[in-house]
Amino acid sequence: MQRSSKIALGVCFVLLVVLVTLFVQYRMESQPDLSEQDARLMLDRLAEAFARGSTERVLSFAAPDAKVAGRDLEEIRSLLQRGFRYMKNPELTYKNFQYVRRGETVHLRFDVHVKQSPDGQAINAETIYLARIGFTVRRIEIPRMLGLMRTYEWKISDVDAPNMPASWFQ
């Protein structure tokens, strides 16, 4: 065997090892199930992203074609950015959590309380939104590595949020 053939074979072997490693890593990142505990953890992370005022982190929980109160993500992105600019120390809490799974779809319902405290003191917090809302969470396929591999993630595809103030959408 010539020296150049051995080098080419070595490079192919290294590439194969890298591809197998990436494949295994992406498959392990794939989320095959969304338990009630996982759903609560998702809501906890969403509340934390909201408290930090991170529009992109909040929207990272949504599917690309998600509808939030009947609006698409670009409208919601704009509203969140404006809201986070004006809110002081936002906080989102939820309670009365309900989890229902039907195949590849999970329905979550809970009471949400959004408040802000301009001076950072919880005692002076002002309620911005208080309602019982619903999330529809679906397991969606995410293409990776230019579409060569696919993983699955649970993303929020629909948010039923009644009684949102009309001023939020102006």
Report whether pLDDT(98) > 80: yes
pLDDT at 138: 93
Q: Are residues 9 and 37 in the same domain?
A: no
Q: Are residues 49 and 98 in the same domain?
A: yes
Is the model more confident about 56 or about 13?
56
Nearest-angstrom CA–CA distance, 39 and 147: 27
Q: Are residues 39 and 101 in the same domain?
A: yes
pLDDT at 109: 96
Q: Are residues 38 and 103 in the same domain?
A: yes
Report whether pLDDT(74) > 80: yes
Domain that holds residue 22: 1-30
pLDDT at 88: 82
What is the arithmetic mean of pLDDT over 28-50? Answer: 84
- Residues facing 115 on adjacent strands: 91, 127
Q: Are residues 5 and 83 in the same domain?
A: no
Q: Are residues 8 and 76 in the same domain?
A: no
Percent of the chain with pLDDT over 70: 82
pLDDT at 49: 93
Q: Are residues 15 and 73 in the same domain?
A: no
Q: Are residues 109 and 94 in the same domain?
A: yes
pTM of the model: 0.75
Q: Are residues 46 and 93 in the same domain?
A: yes
Would residue 105 be called left, alpha or beta, if left means φ above 0 and alpha means ψ between -120 and 50 degrees? beta
Report whether pLDDT(14) > 60: yes
Q: Are residues 54 and 15 in the same domain?
A: no
